[in-house]
Amino acid sequence: MVAGLRTSLRVGLLSAVILAAGCVSNGQSGMYGGNFDHEEAAKTRMSLGLTYLQNNNYTQAKKNLDKALEFNPRSADVQYAMAYYYQLVGDNLRAEEFYKTAIDLAPNNGDIANSYGAFKCQNGDYEKAKAYFFEAINNRLYANAAQTYENLALCAQSQGKLDEAIGYFEDALQHQPARGKTLFLLSELYIVSQQWDLAESTLQKYQRVAKVTPDSLWLSYEIAKGKGDVEKAAGYGDMMLSLFPESELTKRYAVQRERLQKKIVKTSKASNNAEKALEVTVEQATKEKAPQQTSEIVSESASFNKDPINKPIQETSVKQKPVASVADEGDEKNTELSENNDKFHVVKEGENLYRISLLHNIRMATLQKWNNLENTGAIIAGQTLWLVPPSMQEE
C-alpha cells in the first residue's frame, strides 16, 4: 500500500510541478546575454530535470535540478522538485529539508502540502501526514481534493485503519464521482470488510468508466462468491479464462475451478431436494385439508418457491460460513498452498498485501504473521515476502 501511495504521489507531483513550470522554450531570447532571466532559466531547468526523472535518467535529472536551484533558490517549485528527487533516491533527510523550505516559501500551495503529506505517510508519520493532507484539502484554491482524499485513504489503509480509508475514498468520490482508481480501490475495501452489496454497486460504477481487466473480473468473481452465487462466480471465472488466459489471477481461478464446480453441483442437488420436499409437503397437505383449502395451500407454496429469500435449504448448502474472499477459505487454503510451489513473493510497484493475499490464496493476517509485518501496509516494492510458515522458511 505504501508502494501504491508512492506511485500515486509520483504521477501527481510530476504533473503538478511540470504544469507549474509551464512550457518554456529552449531558445529564450537573452538567456545568455545581459538580460539573463534567472526565474525563467530555473523553470526551464526544473522542467528538464523532471522530464529526465520521468525517464529514469537520474544523473541528468540531478544536473538540471541543481542548475534550477542555482538560478532561483527562492523558488518554491524548485525546492519542491528537489525534495521529490531526494525522496525518490531515498535520501529522506535532504528531502525533508527541501519540503520544509518549499512550504515556508509557499505556505498556501496545496500541491506541496499534499506531496509532503504523502512523504510523511511513507515514513510512518500518519498524524502529520493527515495534517498536511487536510491543509491541502482546506485550501480553497486547491483543485485536486479528490487526489488528496485518495492519498489519505491509501495512507489510512497502510496503517490498518480500514474504516477511515473507506470514508476517505468515499470523500474522494464526492469530489470526483467517476474517478476510476478510487472506485476500484474502494471496491476492494468493501470486499475486505464483506460489504458485498456496496462492493457490487461500486464495482459496477468502476466498470462504466474503465476497461475490463483481470483485476476487475476477479473482484466480480470475489463478490459473487461472497454473496453465495457460485454459478455467477464461475461465469466471471470462465470469462477470465477466455479473455485473459495468461493472467496470474486467471491461473489462480483455474486452481479453484474444480472445487467451485463441485459447489455448483451440490447447490443444484440441494435445490432439487428442496423442490421434491416441497412437492411432498403440498401433496400431503392437499390430502389432509378440505378441498376448498387446497387452492390456498398451493398458492402459498408457489409463492414460497418463487421468493429467493425463502430458500433456507439451498442457502445452507451454498454458504456453510461467511465467504470473505478466496484468501479466507480456511481449510481449502491449505490444499491450494500445497499445490503452489512458490515460497516467496517479490512485491511489485503498486501492489498491496490484499492483492498478494488474493494472488497466492493466503489470508492477509497470515502473511502479516509469517513476515513479521507491523501492519498490512508495511511493504514496499522490491521486498520479499514469505508465502510459507516460519518452519518452512529457508535461511
Please name the residue that has the C-alpha cell 461467511.
322
The answer to whether residue 151 is domain-embedded is yes
- Domain encompassing residue 281: 264-318
In the prediction, which pLDDT does 293 show? 46
Looking at the structure, tell me whether residues 313 and 382 fall in a common domain: no
Looking at the structure, tell me whether residues 170 and 292 fall in a common domain: no
The answer to whether residue 222 is domain-embedded is no
Domain end marker among 277, 299, 318: 318
Give me the tens of pLDDT residue by residue for the chain, a chain 395 residues long: 555 555 555 555 555 555 544 444 444 444 455 578 999 999 999 999 999 998 999 999 999 999 999 999 999 999 999 999 999 999 999 999 999 999 999 999 999 999 999 999 989 899 999 999 999 999 999 999 999 999 999 999 988 899 999 999 999 999 999 999 999 999 999 999 999 999 999 999 999 999 999 999 999 999 999 999 989 999 999 999 999 999 999 998 998 888 777 767 666 555 555 555 555 554 555 555 444 444 443 344 344 333 433 333 333 333 333 333 433 443 344 434 434 457 888 888 777 787 788 778 788 888 888 988 876 666 877 788 889 898 888 65
Looking at the structure, tell me whether residues 14 and 48 fall in a common domain: yes
Looking at the structure, tell me whether residues 61 and 79 fall in a common domain: yes
In the prediction, which pLDDT does 304 show? 35
Give per-residue burial for 295-327: e unless 16+ CB within 10 Å, then b.
Answer: eeeeeebeeeeeeeeebeebeebbbeeebbbbb
Looking at the structure, tell me whether residues 279 and 340 fall in a common domain: no
Count Cβ atoms below 10 Å from residue 71 Cβ, excluding itself: 20
Looking at the structure, tell me whether residues 50 and 176 fall in a common domain: yes
Per the structure, the count of domains in the chain is 3
In the prediction, which pLDDT does 317 show? 31
Cα distance between residue 259 and residue 156, in whole Å: 36
| CATH number, domain containing residue 164 | 1.25.40.10
Looking at the structure, tell me whether residues 165 and 287 fall in a common domain: no
Looking at the structure, tell me whether residues 270 and 148 fall in a common domain: no
In the prediction, which pLDDT does 392 show? 85
